[in-house]
Chains A and B, each alone.
Chain A
Amino acid sequence: MNINFTLIAQAIAFAVLIWFTVKFVWPPLLTAIEARQKEIADGLAAAQEGKSALEVAAKKSETTLNEAKQKATEIIGQAEKRAAQIIDEAKGNAKAEGDRIIAGAKAEIDQEVNRAKEGLRAQVSTLAVAGAEKILRKEIDAKAHSEMLAKLAAEL
């Protein structure tokens, strides 16, 4: 246990080692660790931000979806209404058309009936004259009687 020059040599070695650590060992380690700490903190903050952004987006998409659903329902309702309208219109049109056709046919029928009556009238007068001529061959003046018959036929 003798103190000697080794003490001073060791102190110098110690001083050199401290200087070396202060100068070359500590700073790069500190820089690296602090940079990583900052990176991790930034990453965590970014993750938090992303999370909240995701929440907002989810909410927004839900709202949009609901809106779209509502709109679709509206559109379907409108379409149904329109379809009913179209059907009603078509029905009305068809009825009117049918009525028109029926009316036309009725008019035609009337015309035909009139024409037939006209023909019959003409034939009836002729037949009546022929019948009367045959019955009253002698004493009946064809000329005077045809005038009377024509009057009769017109009354028919």
Chain B
Amino acid sequence: MTTEHAQNVELTPSEYIAHHLSFNAQGVNGNTASEGFWVLHYDTLLTSVVLGLLVMGLIWWVARGATAGVPTKRQAFVELVFGFVDDQVKNIFHGDRHSFIAPTALTVFIWVLAMNSMDFLPVDWVASIVSFFGGEHAKWRIVPTSDINTTFALALAVWFLMIFFSIKAKGLGGWIHELFCAPFGSNPLVWPANFLFNLIEYVSKPLSHSLRLFGNMYAGEIIFLLLGMWAATGLSGTVFGAILGAGWSIFHILIVALQAFIFMMLTVVYLAMAHESH
């Protein structure tokens, strides 16, 4: 699946990998540099938005024509996904899940699954197509979740939702009270310890949430690239690399689905925890 790159044998391995791992980054806000904060990764953004519209649009299209009678196979499939997500949320969150948390979980699961699935596209096919349209030096990273910006954006959004729901459920005073009085008790002597504890928790949640997904996807992509380099060593290497690539792809199906599931579960767990008071 990575044989297309065989013609570019003049590339050194590090150049090959660096090419595949660089973003289509362009400055915004009048900024012409491709570094710093005011830069947009067009590949990440466009791929994820198109995928999001595609998958959620598909589900919306089915949901719009959903009947309570005998469902079509299409509707049955969507309902299967719906029921799967709904069951998971039901087990964790015991409130009105239908108004926000369950639909959010569905969005996260489907969207992250779709973005992760871009890892199955042969890396060099993507590179070939992009260079066909955009020239030899055009860059396009097809897996949005191997961009730390995507995973961190999702994790931060969940983080803000978590704080929002926490304040909504307990009130601003209750939330601040909890920051200082949980988990060790309300004695003023342990306030600093409590606050430090909560601070670490609030920092570690979005970090572990986003870095877990990013790390898995980034590592998966790099392994595909390393396997792709076998194609530069000749025919036997190409065959060997293809077999290994197929094996890694099959194993990667598990990782892609599992990471999407874990990301969804953590989202639900964090939002559910925000509703509980200590």
Contacts and interface: CB of A to CB of B under 8 A. Distances in A.
Interface of A: 1-11, 13-15, 17-18, 20-22, 24-33, 35-36, 39
B100 interface: yes
Contact of B56 (A25, A27, A36): A25
A26 B149 contact: no
Given A5-B28, A7-B153, 15 more contacts: A4-B25, A4-B38, A6-B39, A6-B147, A6-B150, A14-B153, A18-B104, A21-B56, A21-B104, A24-B64, A25-B63, A26-B63, A31-B68, A33-B68, A33-B82
Contacts of B106: 21, 25-26
B56 A13 contact: no
A5 B157 contact: no
4 closest cross-chain pairs (CB), A and B: A35-B68, A10-B153, A26-B103, A6-B149
Chain B at the A interface: SS class: helix
Interface residues of B, number: 49
Nearest to A26: B103
A10 B56 contact: no
A31 B79 CA distance: 11
B199 interface: no
B38 A7 contact: no
B214 to A, nearest CB: 9
A22 B29 CA distance: 32
B165 to A, nearest CB: 13
A7 B49 contact: no
B154 interface: yes
A29 B84 CA distance: 13
Contacts of B99: 22
A18 B154 CA distance: 11
Contacts of B60: 20, 24-25
A10 B38 contact: no
